[in-house]
Structure 1
Amino acid sequence: MPMGHTATAQAGSGGLTATEHRLANGLRVVLSEDHLTPVAAVCLWYDVGSRHEVKGRTGLAHLFEHLMFQGSGQVKGNGHFELVQGAGGSLNGTTSFERTNYFETMPTHQVELALWLEADRMGSLLEALDEESMENQRDVVKNERRQRYDNVPYGTAFEKLTALSYPEGHPYHHTPIGSMADLDAATLEDARAFFRTYYAPNNAVLSVVGDIDPEQTLAWIEKYFGSIPSHDGKQPPRDGTLPGIIGEQLREVVHEEVPARALMAAYRLPHDGTRACDAADLALTVLGGGESSRLHNRLVRRDRMAVAAGFGLLRLAGAPSLGWLDVKTSGGVEVETIEAAVDEELARFASEGPTPEEMERAQAQLEREWLDRLGTVAGRADELCRYAVLFGDPQLALSAVSRVLDVTAEEVRAAAEAALRPDNRAVLVYEPIEPADEAAEGEEGTDAHEGADK
């Protein structure tokens, strides 16, 4: 039995603990007991996302997330879904810039089934991968792209702003959904090589959280995953380092059939896992995190020039994070008017910082979000994997709350002053056009599973 060690969570995590173990083939295992309810979450993170892809073959990470639900050596077709749901469990998978994850929440007595299913996929997916399943899921992903990106108002905004924010050739320049042309160009051999390289136990972290017997759980993991061979052919992702400031305002105007003018902007912010990123998160929460925020009060409530105004943070570990501004205008208000008001509020905040009341409210908001996340077995399993894969230490998930509460108001002000400025943003302006005489018919499609691309 592999050896593990236990570490206790720091203050602010409700006394949660996690133990860490490593199998001989390199698979990292994190276990966290919680006997509050008779359920447990199984979460598997593979250290592969769109940042690992190369030009001309974008979208493979996301395509593979779908292929993992198409059967494996001992589970045919849609069997993974049928077995988990038939046992009273739920499941899904998602792809991001930095990882691909798969997860099940099961009744306690069905945890072994989830572990066996994940091990069968990791160890034998290539036995089931053929041209038919490849074509089937290629079409599903392309249809998902149409439904969620190409054929909905503002649907390609994230893709456009990402391409503006990260220069051509940067590993984060393209989003996980991939391009239609690259999806068409991907071959079965491309997929097989991708799986052999990245879907290896030494490129993964497995967490099991909830009503478990750790010794029994570890024995099952050793039984089902221990014989899967490691793979040493993975290349590290290309360097995502960029200057902290873009240095100019990048701008694109989009004329599309959208309900209203919109101003969207992405600001380059500190990497995830840093105190500076937590400070930036608090700044964005004060400025645009909900109906009590400064931008909502100014643009929506007071001046009534917008119907919605929000500011959020896309945390990234391998490249600068993005502060995401999204304002939908009201009536015929010009974008320039909105932009001037936004800049005025940002400049005032950079000068004065948050009030004590704003600071307390923002910290309470982020604390509540973290505790909600860690309070569910699925959320905790996901965060333990995230910190293990991206930062090398799952225990950091259990001390995240205390780190947020430790940030000072001056650090929040300084984070805004350093980054929330006009020469550090990519701007997307949507201008509505009249709809065509004959609207194109919407395309229907059934995704293999929901939540495929975050």
Structure 2
Amino acid sequence: MKHFLGLTPRLLGLLACLAIPVTAGDAAVGLPHVRYELENGLTVILQEDHSTPMVAVNIWYHVGSGHEKKGRTGFAHLFEHILFEGSEHVPEGKFDEWLETVGGNNNGSTTIDRTNYFEILPSHALEMALFLESDRMGWLLGSMSEAKVDGQRDVVKNERRQRVENAPYGMVWPTMSELMFPEGHPYSWPTIGYMEDLSAASYEDVVTFFKTYYGPNNASLVIVGDIEIEATKKLVEKWFGEIPRGQPIPAIDRPGVNFNEEKRVVLEDRVQLERVHLMWHTPPAFSAGAAGLEMLSQVLAGGKTSRLYKRLVYDLQIAQDVFAFNYSGKLGSTFIIGSTASDGHTAAEVEKVIDEEMARLLREPPSERELKRAFNQLHASTLDRLEGIEFKADILNRYYFYTGNPDYLNEWIRRLGAVDSTDLANLTQTYLKPHVRGVITVVPKKEDSEQGGKGE
């Protein structure tokens, strides 16, 4: 075969592959499952996956920092720690020890909307995880004491010091909550809470919070892996069925967010490089526009060929990184663009170029090639993570929590694939307005700069 314009047959074949359009239909991936509810209100979602003799147990309590009240913040994150400190039938320190004995591991996390706990372990040890999770759901208070609460209160305070107050750029995130949401809004305080609130919380306050939000009727349990459905149902009933239903869950106040100007904050920190964060209010998780905003974040900063990376890092070389994402919540979301200036350059320079690129989105909407690249990146990332039962368990819980449908993945992929350049231009014009946003700039502390203080 003759070469065409200097291209070998192998390279021509590669170009043909790159030209193949990817559609949402081609990318469809289902998450078949069984969903049911126990009499006490616990939602159970089961999926068989016999690819490995492992199982993932993933429980979401539908309580996050957004369920707290002004003056009593940090409770959801505090319980993320307390629930690992033993329950009535699990002595302190044995939760991890017993799981490790059977080859398992576990962890948890807290957000503005939910708290989750998970275990990954050999399938023959599934009952161990169910026993441990059910005991801290139904029998935590029997072993909880003021001393345990005080101990974990101190742990959380130290975590705040390490990850927020003393971490490079760490104060950006609590500042962001305060800047973007009015005082008293459920999202206006950081998930980790405030030091003074953690100190002021009484033991009775903590007990009341647990009784209010940690019942089976405010939780969803997902089990994915090497299981048999009917046998697993019996195990779930055995360990969770006798836990009484909790009290009705109080509704969250949903105050409006009257944000119609640009708000700026400058933070001094022990860093060497300036960083800028731009933030806009966007609609709640999975509502109209959510898929388009996900695609927009990829077009802007998803990889080295994205618009912002190419301009800031590659062409102008005034920034060493750039990121963009839509942080989604039930009450509303925040679209965030951040970038760290390169040595010798300023956050103001970086911000100016970001503004230019945001304006260009309206003049020159993303091309079909850019959209395909963004979709392919999101699709490939999802497929890669779906190989692990841990991610599958968590995504089933996530989709159930936010949409009511654990098998929402096909619909989400379809929505991503349906986004076009007009959608992205409209979203930019509607939500990402240049003078209706929050801007946080981090600059080196003056004394550190003068004295050669330690940076990152």
Unaligned runs of 5+ in 1: 1-9, 441-454
**Structure 1 segment 46-445 matched on structure 2, within 5 A:** 46-239=61-254, 241-242=256-257, 246-319=259-332, 321-397=333-409, 399-433=411-445, 434-435=447-448
Distance 2:271 2:255 in 1: 33
- Please state whether the residue corresponding to 2:41 is helix, strand or coil: coil
Q: CA deviation at 1:59?
A: 0.1
When structure 1 is superposed on structure 2, of 307-316 and 279-288 the one drifting more is: 307-316
Q: Deviations over 1:209-233 (max 9, x none)?
A: 1111010111100111011001124
Aligned positions, number: 428
Distance 1:291 1:259 in 2: 24
Q: CA deviation at 1:106?
A: 1.2
Distance 1:408 1:16 in 2: 26
Q: Aligned in 2, Cα 1:420/1:22: closer, same or farther, shift over 3 Å?
A: same
- Whether contact under 8 Å (1:145, 1:177) holds in the other structure is yes
Give me the CA root mean square deviation.
Answer: 1.8
When structure 1 is superposed on structure 2, of 25-34 and 413-422 the one drifting more is: 413-422
- Whether contact under 8 Å (1:290, 1:310) holds in the other structure is no
Q: CA deviation at 1:424?
A: 2.7
Q: CA deviation at 1:391?
A: 2.4
- The amino acid of 1:316's aligned partner reads G
- Whether contact under 8 Å (2:340, 2:347) holds in the other structure is no
- Whether contact under 8 Å (1:268, 1:323) holds in the other structure is yes
The answer for the alignment partner of 2:14 in structure 1 is: none
Give the number of the structure whose alpha-carbon radius of gyration is greater.
2
Q: Deviations over 1:58-79 (max 9, x none)?
A: 0000001100000001001011
- Whether contact under 8 Å (2:285, 2:402) holds in the other structure is no
When structure 1 is superposed on structure 2, of 392-401 and 31-40 the one drifting more is: 392-401
Q: CA deviation at 1:309?
A: 1.6
TM-score by length of 1: 0.90
Distance 1:228 1:379 in 2: 27
- Please state whether the residue corresponding to 1:400 is helix, strand or coil: helix
TM-score by length of 2: 0.90
- Whether contact under 8 Å (2:102, 2:121) holds in the other structure is yes
Q: Aligned in 2, Cα 1:232/1:11: closer, same or farther, shift over 3 Å?
A: farther
- Whether contact under 8 Å (1:11, 1:402) holds in the other structure is no
Q: Aligned in 2, Cα 1:398/1:204: closer, same or farther, shift over 3 Å?
A: farther
Q: Deviations over 1:221-250 (max 9, x none)?
A: 01110110011242112215536xx32111
Unaligned runs of 5+ in 2: 1-24
- Please state whether the residue corresponding to 1:126 is helix, strand or coil: coil
- The amino acid of 2:334's aligned partner reads L
Q: CA deviation at 1:90?
A: 1.3
Which of 28, 41, 65 lines up with 2:43 in the alignment? 28
Distance 1:83 1:283 in 2: 45
- Please state whether the residue corresponding to 2:85 is helix, strand or coil: coil
Identity of aligned residues (%): 39
Q: Aligned in 2, Cα 1:217/1:64: closer, same or farther, shift over 3 Å?
A: same
User: After TM superposition, what 4+ stretches of structure 1 lie above 4 angstroms from structure 2?
Assistant: 436-440
Q: Deviations over 1:260-312 (max 9, x none)?
A: 11111111122211240110111111111222211111111111111112212
- Whether contact under 8 Å (1:275, 1:403) holds in the other structure is no
Distance 1:406 1:439 in 2: 50
Distance 1:175 1:22 in 2: 33
